[in-house]
Amino acid sequence: MAGGQERVLRRRIRSIQSTQKITRAQELIAASRIVKATAAVEAAQPYSEAVTQVVRDLSAGGSGSDSPLLTPRPDVRRVAFIVIAADRGLSGAYNSSVIREAERAVLAEVAGGRDYSIIAVGRKVEGYFRYRGYKIDAVCSGFSDQPRYEDARQVGSAATAAFLAGDTDEVQIVYTEYRSAGVQIVVRHTLMPLVRDEIPPAGDGGEAAVAASYEFEPSPEGILDLLLPRYVDSRVYAALLNAAASEHTARQRAMKAATDNAADLITSLSRVMNRARQDTITTEIMEIVSGSEALRQGASDGADYLSDTIEGRDADLFAARSTDA
């Protein structure tokens, strides 16, 4: 029984060691990608800030008042949600946190009597909402860990086209914002219509008034109509980069915890296996000692029996000789 238990424990320890190698490799890969992801987030900041400044200058120049992307709809009947998560798991609560926030927002809109649609970015998002029967208008996947600007344009174009066509009256984006190696927060922002606070109108004074002195060719309105979709794409791209950095950080943390837990489990099972081996050895020693004692006892009983037999035979022979005499 003890020997069988030892074999089972040995197989289980080998299995856990194999899993530990995988989690350790995943941890190292995620740690190496965190550096690139955070560098990409920082590298995208200048472009985003430059586009924002140009849009502000155009708004200060008297443009943008009639742009569909800047005009709130009086009656919001349908809200689109861009939900950004990962294509793969093994990242702790990263995917579930984003999905829960998006699901709460969708249910809140439904409770308010409004319709909704979902643009799923990441296979985990698609799998969750499709399995539960939610409305999915578009799916973009395959780039969650290393997004490119073309991927952001794909997502932004799908949302912008539906908004300009009137299929949706508001677009919100749900993703994980990367703030530091230890802090990643799930956020939800309104993507379209663009928030007026970020694009101040003309006549505010200060920097906006100075920027209004520029001359635009062909016209501020024409430039703004071309620039606003790119502004939306830049915001989507920033969200994708933040999500990618958060994904790698969450995966590195989850894989490190899994590796440490595997080491603790191996130590615990090794102790149980050693106790089982000691029990096996003790049992075998007891069996050997018991068998040796039984053999010694049996040999002693056999010698006494032989002595008694020899003495009885000698007595019979002596008696027979006495009778003959």
Alpha helices, DSSP H, located in the chain: 2-60, 94-111, 123-131, 149-164, 207-211, 220-324
Report the range of poorest mean pLDDT among 85-99, 207-221, 264-278. Answer: 207-221
pLDDT class of 75 with cuts at 50, 70, 90: confident
Question: Is 305 part of a structural domain of the chain?
Answer: no
CATH number at residue 44: 3.40.1380.10
- Whole-structure pTM value: 0.77
- β pairing state of 170-180 and 183-192: antiparallel
Question: Is 271 part of a structural domain of the chain?
Answer: no
Question: Is 152 part of a structural domain of the chain?
Answer: yes
Judged against a pLDDT cut of 80, whether residue 17 lies above it is answered with yes
Question: Is 291 part of a structural domain of the chain?
Answer: no
Question: Is 252 part of a structural domain of the chain?
Answer: yes
Question: Is 127 part of a structural domain of the chain?
Answer: yes
d(Cα 234, Cα 238) in Å, to the nearest integer?
6
pLDDT class of 62 with cuts at 50, 70, 90: low
Q: How many domains does the chain have?
A: 1
- 210 or 254: which leads in pLDDT: 254
Average pLDDT rounded to a whole number, residues 109-128? 93
pLDDT of residue 205: 45
Residue count of the chain, please give it. 325
Average pLDDT rounded to a whole number, residues 148-171? 91
Judged against a pLDDT cut of 60, whether residue 323 lies above it is answered with no
Report the range of poorest mean pLDDT among 27-36, 72-81, 208-217, 228-237. Answer: 208-217
- 251 or 212: which leads in pLDDT: 251
Question: What is the radius of gyration, based on Cα positions, of the chain?
Answer: 39
Q: Which residue segment(s) compose the domain that 103 sits in?
A: 21-263
pLDDT cut 70: percent of the chain above it: 80
Mean pLDDT of the chain: 82
Report the range of poorest mean pLDDT among 132-136, 202-206, 303-307. Answer: 202-206
Question: Is 148 part of a structural domain of the chain?
Answer: yes
Report the range of poorest mean pLDDT among 115-119, 186-190, 218-222. Answer: 218-222
pLDDT class of 296 with cuts at 50, 70, 90: confident
Structure tokens, 97: 């946190």
Judged against a pLDDT cut of 80, whether residue 324 lies above it is answered with no
DSSP at 194: P
Question: Is 90 part of a structural domain of the chain?
Answer: yes
Q: How far is CA 215 from CA 96, 210, 212, 219, in A?
A: 49, 12, 8, 8
Could you write out the DSSP letters of every residue in 250-286? HHHHHHHHHHHHHHHHHHHHHHHHHHHHHHHHHHHHH
Structure tokens, 305: 């029996």
